[in-house]
Structure 1
């Protein structure tokens, strides 16, 4: 093929654009072409040109015999989506066909790098764009100017990635002219399905492989812990039906230029010195080779290396870490020799060491460094199982201490250790230069495959071009990629499931969930303190409204991705309910600023109802049913603080203990029931406690605490309590003071005078077979008023009518009869400024009365509706009575509050 015919094919106007000439632009000149579309992952070099390219109905494609079919398929899909309907395909050696089309003046697309098509190089030369020679593996050149588009990869993977950039630049069918030169910083970029719990489905994996292709990630490690043929039954061959599914995955991976790595984990039972086990391992690898697998790994993590699986290993290698390293090196070297070295085209063998998470040298690492074949790649998680940071220095040290090339197994966004949370924030904490010292990075994802794509998108962006990586911009691009038209709703959801242990470790700060909501709340609290909350409240309410509508918005906007919606459903519902509860909290507090107790009490009821709904949601996890955690350390603390402030305005102490537990939940007996003020409800664990497990309360801040009461067990399970434990308290959650041993179901204890506590807990100190039921935990302060409640009609939880807890309710079992009354008696007479009655249902009527010194009763007003506030004129009394109107509705009273006059 001659350079001349390429020049004839390209319009003359195209060639002059490569020469920069200063020419005045007349006033009537056409407007400048639009800016280039953003490409992800962020390219290294993308230079705009003055021209513009629009995809017409007829397109000429110039390809070679070696042009990558997957790349060509992407290109043609983009062309069709832009309106092209006629394709004239010409091979790179058919000059006659080129000559026939050269005068058409339409669009000509060259697809294929130097190993695929000769014509593309000539087209690039005509465009005065250097070819891809010299770029790293998977690098490419992509150029477009008037009438010509050229895609040229340094290899077929590069051409495929050029097609992915072409897809983004021509999403609208038109693009400004450009020249692009791009390559990945990390050779291996991808994902390892290495979490504990339910593995991804076959459909999940197929969708993931397509996603990796779109985002220019080239590695998928098949390592689900719960595949028995990887671990417990590693010697056994796959049944034909399961092998067929793996074959489909391998084929789909190849179509997306993804290396499918099969990771076999024999460490639970392998005899390192056994010829039979080595042969079984090689035979298993061969069965994978036969279906197209070309990359293999042998993880030896999460096993004991102080216990041998066979006596022969003890005799051959001895004991200790050095022996374990020697034994593992012996087996891996034989696999390297007998399988890897005998299969041309296979990728380098990978292994995960038993010591995979630090940089401290050890006899084990010394054995690997000195005895393991240097061709083997060692996987490492960083400094820690979950590394907050990975620096250039650490990457260099890892290579030195292990003595091998390092592939990072990065435990983000994996959530198998915190199954109640979704980790939807960006990839952070890795220095750009780590790629210079690594073979690559594979991110360990969540159990939720679709939701993992947000973090996977950002990790792929980092690994492609870490020097230009912006986690915030990349995160927004990931949201747009997954959410499409529902990106705004997805952003609200994701930012309320944003934070993770990685964020806390990397920043050194407490949890950073809900980055948009946090400052809005801070502004609202500050404005409320200044008694001018209206503007701040409006801004806060606006965002809370988006949270409240998020479930409907996201389910409507992402209806085309039902898998994602099914994965995140419980968390999505919780975000909506927290938004609803937050709006009621704002209205509740604003009503109190206006002095409107009735509205405030009504809004409080709506708030509590939404909060209870949110905390009753359950999600099934590998650790049993859990309450999902969204808006972590933001929403619930805000709601509790708002309730505490409101309750103090009503005249209550405003202490809102929140339940804490390290144990799971049986059915719907949620932890919140152990602080609901009702001894008939209870929290029930889903298994017997282990030593170190705890149940307790968090008071929100350190304060004076004088007494603790804990009621455990229940009539049908009298032995379900902590049989061996200690009662403890702490002001900071770090330093704990022991109060007394716990060996009985009922615990009652006075704390030392002046004791400051935020946390109170029972910690298990001995093993037991019984589960644990906690009916109620009550924490008292020296300033908490104490009342006795007597009276009729009979009903449930009579003490709740005056227990300083507006969430507990006395519910009469029947309508009042003549003479029925409820009496609240204080420990001693005191002056009263007013009496407030909080009822959860309107309908019951009563005269509100106070007792005089002679024992007579004086009516100060009527109780009607849900909220009643009556002045008491400073009368000194120790008793308040509700004298019921006969025949009304059965009373439901949350609290009768004798309020002292304000201090002068």
Structure 2
């Protein structure tokens, strides 16, 4: 089993990964390798929810192709072998517009499919959907409770449509209903856990006061859906998010239920900030993000590649792909192509634009 992660004060930390980004998903081999790697550093769960899996989103009413179902079942087994809880994020697209008998029958079939592959943790996700609808909270509560009653999952989680204070959600999906979080807090079974990304969709920091306010509204500590180091989309895809985490103090553990990291598109490079987050929880006030990067990069990449990445850190994370210029990109590409390491190959692929995704592709997911 995974060694329990604790803060310096001894508070337990439920830390894991949620693969919830847009664009090209990880391969099954990459997922399995990452599960094993992060389990050694205190990551206790892995939740499969890539936006590219249409059978969990727009085509959720259809069963997975047989090969996908077999691969998911194999991933669940890999998690079990590493002492990691396996979960799936299901986004039944706008089912709350008509939760009728047909919808219930389709949802029951999907839940049975998830039970069959070995899902321990079930997340019902209503993010990135229209929300300015009458009785939104009540409709979503009914669906989540129904799913909980018809699933064998041991843990049920729920992502609200308005999962952050960020006004960008209101601009994209309509103005949030007044008292939405409070209505969820009153109506949801206390055993159901609720996701929250923070004061922003991609929060730069988490404050104890802000999290306590959300916990009071929800009547339960939130599960943090941490959108760092995720780098999907036409804007964030311009950067490699490599720096060690900041603004994620160990004190978060006392006002949250769990902490789920949404990783970057680059599997190996994601492990650097992921390791730094575990270090931040373990060290508390003694955490040094510069030293955390050096330690994690050394473990993930080896000494030579880690030193090279540190030298180019600002270019990759701050300057951005399109602003590097053709000559600089060519030189960087040559430099990293000389390394025989999957992390270096991810840098080269990013320089080549391998993960670029348009707004139209995101909206169609």
1:239 aligns to 2:65 (yes or no): yes
Q: Shift in Å at residue 272 of structure 1?
A: 5.3
Q: Deviations over 1:252-274 (max 9, x none)?
A: 11122221110100133455532
Q: Unaligned 5+ residue runs, structure 2?
A: 167-175, 321-328, 361-365
Q: Which runs of structure 2 are paired with 1:105-116 in the superposition (5 Å)? A: none
Q: Is the 8 A contact 1:441 1:463 kept in 2?
A: no
Distance 2:203 2:251 in 1: 16
2:273 to 433, 439, 455: 455
Q: Deviations over 1:164-213 (max 9, x none)?
A: xxxxxxxxxxxxxxxxx989745321221111111112222112112211
Partner residue in 2 for 1:301: 127
Q: Which runs of structure 2 are paired with 1:712-861 in the superposition (5 Å)? A: none
Compared CA separation, residues 550 and 295, structure 1 to 2 (3 A) = same
* 2:241 counterpart SS class: coil
Partner residue in 2 for 1:124: none
Q: Shift in Å at residue 468 of structure 1?
A: 3.5
* 2:316 counterpart SS class: coil
Q: Deviations over 1:391-433 (max 9, x none)?
A: 1111111111122331010111111142121111111112331
1:619 aligns to 2:358 (yes or no): no
Partner residue in 2 for 1:356: 163
1:494 to 298, 301, 313: 313
Q: Which runs of structure 2 are paired with 1:44-443 in the superposition (5 Å)? A: 156-158=1-3, 185-271=11-97, 273-306=99-132, 319=134, 323-339=135-151, 343=152, 346-358=153-165, 362-417=178-233, 418-443=236-261
Q: Which moved more, 1:454-463 or 1:476-485?
A: 454-463
* 2:2 counterpart SS class: helix
Distance 1:500 1:413 in 2: 16
Q: Shift in Å at residue 472 of structure 1?
A: 1.5
Distance 1:478 1:157 in 2: 19
Distance 2:190 2:214 in 1: 14
* 2:55 counterpart SS class: coil
Distance 2:111 2:30 in 1: 24
Q: Shift in Å at residue 348 of structure 1?
A: 2.2
Distance 2:245 2:319 in 1: 11
Q: Who wins on radius of gyration, i.e. which is larger?
A: 1
Distance 1:414 1:361 in 2: 28
Distance 2:337 2:13 in 1: 38
* 1:229 counterpart SS class: helix
* 2:124 counterpart SS class: strand
Q: Is the 8 A contact 2:111 2:147 kept in 1?
A: no
Compared CA separation, residues 552 and 185, structure 1 to 2 (3 A) = farther
Q: Shift in Å at residue 352 of structure 1?
A: 0.5
Q: Which runs of structure 2 are paired with 1:417-816 in the superposition (5 Å)? A: 417=233, 418-486=236-304, 487-499=306-318, 554-556=336-338, 558-559=339-340, 561=341, 563-569=342-348, 618-623=352-357
Distance 1:295 1:227 in 2: 18
* 1:429 counterpart SS class: coil
Distance 1:263 1:219 in 2: 13
Compared CA separation, residues 283 and 199, structure 1 to 2 (3 A) = same
Q: Which moved more, 1:484-493 or 1:424-433?
A: 484-493
Distance 1:381 1:390 in 2: 9
Compared CA separation, residues 187 and 238, structure 1 to 2 (3 A) = same
Q: Is the 8 A contact 2:89 2:122 kept in 1?
A: yes
Q: Report the number of matched residues.
A: 339
Q: Is the 8 A contact 2:239 2:317 kept in 1?
A: no
Distance 1:247 1:268 in 2: 27
Q: Is the 8 A contact 1:352 1:379 kept in 2?
A: yes
How high is the TM-score relative to the length of structure 1? 0.35
Q: Is the 8 A contact 2:16 2:44 kept in 1?
A: yes
Q: Is the 8 A contact 1:454 1:475 kept in 2?
A: yes
How high is the TM-score relative to the length of structure 2? 0.83
Q: Is the 8 A contact 1:186 1:463 kept in 2?
A: no
Q: Deviations over 1:779-813 (max 9, x none)?
A: xxxxxxxxxxxxxxxxxxxxxxxxxxxxxxxxxxx
Q: Deviations over 1:599-628 (max 9, x none)?
A: xxxxxxxxxxxxxxxxxx75144436xxxx
- Higher relative contact order (CA closer than 8 Å, sequence separation 6+): 2
Q: Unaligned 5+ residue runs, structure 1?
A: 1-155, 163-180, 308-318, 502-546, 572-616, 625-662, 665-904
Compared CA separation, residues 330 and 276, structure 1 to 2 (3 A) = same
* 1:298 counterpart SS class: strand
Distance 1:498 1:458 in 2: 16
Compared CA separation, residues 285 and 245, structure 1 to 2 (3 A) = same
Distance 2:319 2:196 in 1: 20
Partner residue in 2 for 1:596: none
* 1:218 counterpart SS class: strand
Structure having the higher helix fraction is 2
* 1:619 counterpart SS class: coil
Q: Which moved more, 1:220-229 or 1:267-276?
A: 267-276
Q: Is the 8 A contact 1:415 1:446 kept in 2?
A: yes
Q: Shift in Å at residue 368 of structure 1?
A: 0.8
Distance 1:383 1:238 in 2: 35
